[in-house]
Structure 1
Amino acid sequence: MLTHDYLVEGIYWLDRIQPRERKLVGEKACCLGNLAQSGYPVVPGFAIGAPVLRQFLETNNWSEPLFAELLNSGLYLNVDDGRQLQELAQHIRKGIIAAELPQDWIEALYSNLQQWHGGAIVFRPSPSISQTSGLLEAHICRNDPTQLAIALKKTWAEAFRARSLFYWQRMGMQLHQIELAVLVQPVWDAVAAGTLRASPAGLEIKATWGLGVAIATGQVIPDSYQIDPDTGVPYSKKLGNKPIAYHIEGHLERTEQPLGLMPHLEGASMVNLNKHNGLTTYLLDDEKTSRYALEQAYIKDLVKLARDIGSEIGSTFRLEWTLGLADSRGIEQFPLKPQLYLTQVQPLKAKNYIAKDERTVKDNQSYPLPQNQEAHNKEAQNTDNQSYPPSQIKEAQIKEAQIKEAQIKEDSGTTSSISGEIVGVAAASGEAIAPARVISEENQSLEDIPPGQIIVARAIAPDWMNAIGKAAGLVTERGGITSHGAILARELGIPAVVGAAGATKKIKTGRVIKIDGNSGKVYLPAASESISGNQAISIPRVNLNWYGTPILATQLLVNLSQPSALERLPNLPLDGLGLLRSELMALAIVGDRHPLEWIEERSEIEFVEKMAEQASLLARHFSGQPVFYRCLDWRSDEFPSQNLENNPILGQHGAFSYVQNPTLFDLELAVLDKLYQWGHADIRLILPFVRGVEELVFCRHRVEKVGLTQQKGFQLWIMAEVPSVLFLLPEYVKAGAEGIAIGSNDLTQLLLAADRNDPDMAASFDASHIAVRRAIRQLIATAREAGIPCCLCGRLGGINAEAISELVLWGITSISVEPDDLERTYQAISRAEQRLLLEAARRQLS
């Protein structure tokens, strides 16, 4: 049983933590403690050491032996069985939260917190390993003995969430290796709060009114400031949308004159939306929402603070700050100005290691090595047997890329050494520096392409999928942002630029280039220069940290066809797989052969087996959630062996091709039947490019013949992408359509007569065009009238926050986007839903 003495021994005060106690207090508490002892303005607090959790689990009077042995056993978890993992995780967490802590222990904890006069307390998980950003959530509660005990147990239970158990096992960690301390701090009321991210490229500050929990939960768009690293002066700032502010519950009622220091609360209304324990939400009026939360003087203070911290822990880090009204004991100070305090600091410095995986250039190729690079490579070779998590490898790649870019400048003695660039269309985010491999019409062999090179080509052929999966980047002269090559690149996390005119002529094989998939540019060094290094460097887009993710009313799904892309999914509460494009999945099987030709050479049974195996990998990941399987939608220009039609976009593909020759459609129905035989439920079938009701009737009869309509969770949907659906949707519903998936890509090109694959038409291919939006609004309204669900699964859902706000307002059931767009889409949906709630609250208050 936990005792009072054990608690006293297990508490480590921030101003006394020693470096040797890092494992006991965790990375988060140790870093803050070091800064506090160096005189930085850290919000005070203490860490409840990791051994206290172990003692709690080992000595509590459990009814099940599982809990007492949780951190001492070699419990094996099948993390690929999503349903079993969720059930076990919920069982463990419920048991921990329901367990009782000794009363004298709780009282001692409460007593230690009274010195700071905090109305609310935050409990932050502080594991001994650093690569857990966004994995474990913090918990805020009132400064009350009962609430403190609950919040502490919830924080301990974070280690046993399904996503945490999945992460531990993927890292190769056993449960007995987990060391979880808890950082405990008072929450002081604040005028403003936010984050600061530092890197060699500069500083980015984000700010909102009140407490920072509004940013962490995605309920506001914070103001953002880009700071020049040399001058410390903002060179860019953008006003956010901050309709709400969190404050300590009851604090403003107890304080005599807060409004002079909190002007944003003038005219504000108190509401309780998503209320956190110990906090109150205030609804701000429009005038305060449109003002910046951070004054210039505090920006200067933050910049100075960041520079000083950078000298202590390195130039790359992230911190959370608050502009509080209290002194170091939590006592309000009037009329003194608010003070800056640090609540979290997280070094982002990567270890000097690059994984020698499929991104590495073949050993028999030689590129000039920068100074000390040979020693670095030897060090990397000596660590080949170590296990590093993907996030650590990515951070290392970012660091190496920065070194490489710095080497360009050093070699030329100037900051503008890159002499030329090719401008195309940004198709997949991210950056990469690597040797180019030019695929010309004369030489289209991909057999000798080493992994980790940037493929440069006129266009992407279907049989190139395997090469794309190993590439560092992709540059094409043809194709649009919705072409198969671009979609695959986004799924696999590979930066891509399309519509780069003349790329195959201006770039030579072997030349090291830089591709920027965010801006659509390809940078070329001068002929006399060389970009040093013998490894391809990817610079991935940095994912946001998710500390608390409120569940959305609008379902968020993902478009995915490659099982290898599953590891790139962010830590978000997804509702399923919204679009599995089966033709992209099939490319890995049939290569450059049309499926009918491949089947003629091999067999129908082998095709069904291979397709089912690939689909099963995806369905297993989304166990218990819907998987929307869209049938094959080949077009004649995608296979060199097929007779090219004059207009492939309007040619024989989609559901029309099933009526002409149902062979492939029947085989795909056999694939879905096999998935159900293997235990996968909730598989929904989407028919592509449906032109008329008769096509749906034909397909439905074949679906019923196989028996899929009798399977639990099965539904038959249609893609709403041919404009005739605007007038025929009620007839489609009567004919058996159980839902519609709006394909904004094809709908846009057909409504606007703009070829989606022609880069010269990129300016006209506008999914946010008023005509497209009106069509989508009509489809949503008709679907709601018919009582069927409606999902948007085109590119529009991931690139236009305003459009997402409209979709939520119109009543869309779900939005499905590509992996790179998940985070921004989640934020946009959350803000849109919050805005609707706020508007409803305003109407009620008025």
Structure 2
Amino acid sequence: MTKQSPPVIWFEDLSRADVARVGGKNASLGEMVRALAPKGIRVPGGFATTADAFRDYLAANGLGAPIADHLAALASGKQTLAETGQAVRSLILHGDWPAATQEAIIAAYRRLCAESGRADIDVAVRSSATAEDLPEASFAGQQETFLNIRGEAALVEACRRCYASLFTDRAISYRQAKGFDHMQVALSVGVQRMVRSDIGGAGVMFSIDTETGFDKVVRIDAAWGLGETVVQGSVGPDEYQVFKPLLADPALSPIIDKTCGDKAHKLIYGGGETPTRLVPASKAERAAFVLDDVEILTLARWAVAIETHYGCPMDIEWARDGETGELFVVQARPETVQARRRADAFRTFRITRKGRKLSSGLAIGDAVVSGWICLIESARDIARFVDGSILVTGTTDPDWVPVMKRAAAIVTDRGGRTSHAAIISRELGLPAIVGTGNATELLHDGQEVTVSCAEGDEGFVYEGTADVEAETLDIGALPQTATQVMLNLANPAAAFRWWRLPADGVGLARMEFVISNAIRVHPMALVRYDELRDETARREIAALTAGYGDRTDYFVDRLSRGLARLAASFHPKPVIIRTSDFKTNEYAGLVGGAGFEPHEENPMIGLRGASRYYSPHYREGFALECRAIRRLRNEMGFRNVIVMIPFCRSPAEADAVLAVMAENGLRRGEDGLEVYVMCEIPSNVILAREFAARFDGFSIGSNDLTQLTLGVDRDSAELAPLFDEEDAAVKWMIARVIGEARAAGAKIGLCGQAPSDNPAFAAFLVEAGIHSLSVSPDSFVAVKQAVAAAERRHGHNEEAR
């Protein structure tokens, strides 16, 4: 070891330019300690052994030639991977430390102890390879980490075990797959003060949405105890999402999603020969969130600062000290999957026919795959995996990587979005469903299934082979149009899938979808819970609202966060949220709803839309909707949200609804609030100017307008041939209201299906002078092209709009 290359370097003396000296992980730690700690991001201190120290260790023990011989035997097929790995690791583990290296490690550890004021402090001992955390390869979990290491002898032995882990079977296999020369890769060991997250919490966060590449959110996973359970996927962690563009305003709380994970176990300190042990989490811990809102926002701001400093999306590990309550960042590396995706290449999958749903969990990726299941419950049975099949197992760790590379898809019982299975699946480009809870119980070996990750955040395993349509879109080739083309969205879980589309915003976000899927409870059953006589409903509501002091807060919280994902998807472009448009029979189907809804013979034209909002049947429920929108706009910061009122029969009814909104803190024009009205009743057309005096815009609901103009039940199979949105009477109504709206200075769009099905209808709307069309995402490209063609034919330009 030369004087110019000491065996140990302190983190504060390193930077990200030092990957060749101390590997990617330790170089990044040094960069953060040096550059980001002064900005308030806490990083535990420590030191790193150098790559030269590793090479000196091999040279001092004469290991270079025998290791090369074993690797050559593997390459020629004379040795198996397992035989090679075992032999090389044994050589390293039986080596002796060069005196200078061992003395330097012990001296640095003593300095750490002195600085902390404690003898034999606990440290984390982490491997950091010189070909690690690169943009083209993550090497996630390929080498070992040892936690709660105390004492000089234990530290030196842990460092030796880190050296040996450069040649685990999984690490050898991964380097082969990535084309790295084994003998050119060296290993540095990072020794870092432990954060007492064993009595606190820990997890992982990404400065990008890991499934869609949406670059405006921070995703945080959290569990009790040491963070290895999250990384390894052995628990279902809490999940939080924070909207980055609104983080700079300290008055806002842009937390757009909070999901409580099961967190069934936690990793805590052990003792003696077992420095850590896995124990069950308490019932109270499982039911509680690991992080409060202040901590979530703090971590999210740190993620943004780290991303800004590095200039790329980041994968970050964090921990909270249970003794001090302080948060720390313990690792950071470039995100390696979404960073490599082409921004203009957009591939979509759509299932047109599918079998019975067998299992579900968190969707990783966005593809659909059909195949035969190979169910393997233990790593001991990996050898029987059948190439090209769908791997189903409890959880994975780095030992499973050689098998995962040969799979068509992966399904696990346990794990979150930052688990090992999720990270490797993304890197390999495989669809995966993690955290199903029961896939190994419900699925069986040799079963033919379809794994779908193309339907939003939730992934599904369907029986049999589904019919799937796949399409690759070149977004960069889409034409510009003066007429806005927006999206119809309902499912918050799928909203981020479409962020790359050059849409002009969201023309219709359906509130009722969020209520029926994310809330499931009738709002009046929350307002008047004490009046409920249905004991089954009472129990279900009590379980759903557990943890909320006021049950109505459950509705407001879940609704505002669900809508926030829709509002975030195209921020700062407008997002038009339609207030609930259930019919009475649909409302009655919500938990606790039957006792609050009248029976109607024809709910389609009954107590729905605007008439509900000032009715004693629902006025208090509508107040909760207003609270959620007020929170969405004022507390979370989504001022791009426009409110739209459905099925408003008369100007007098419009006045009544606007008055109720104002009573609940949503006053048109205040804080930039715009209010639109659906145009779906002939009276909306006939009295368009009067409606325009009360609302900022119209959205034509062509389905209902067709139904009521022609007097045809849109759901009647017998009358289906008569239901025609292109009927001359319907087109007259549409053209008339477009003209009236424009004359009154109001915006007007259409959110029906017709433009998606027929380019000629889109051309008619453009010629009539419509401001915007809002269509389903899978129709966006075709409609955009049809609108562009119509504008060229009719000579429309931006000034004309």
TM-score normalised according to structure 1 size: 0.41
Q: How does the TM-score come out when normalised to structure 2?
A: 0.43
Based on CA coordinates, which of the two structures has the bigger radius of gyration? 2
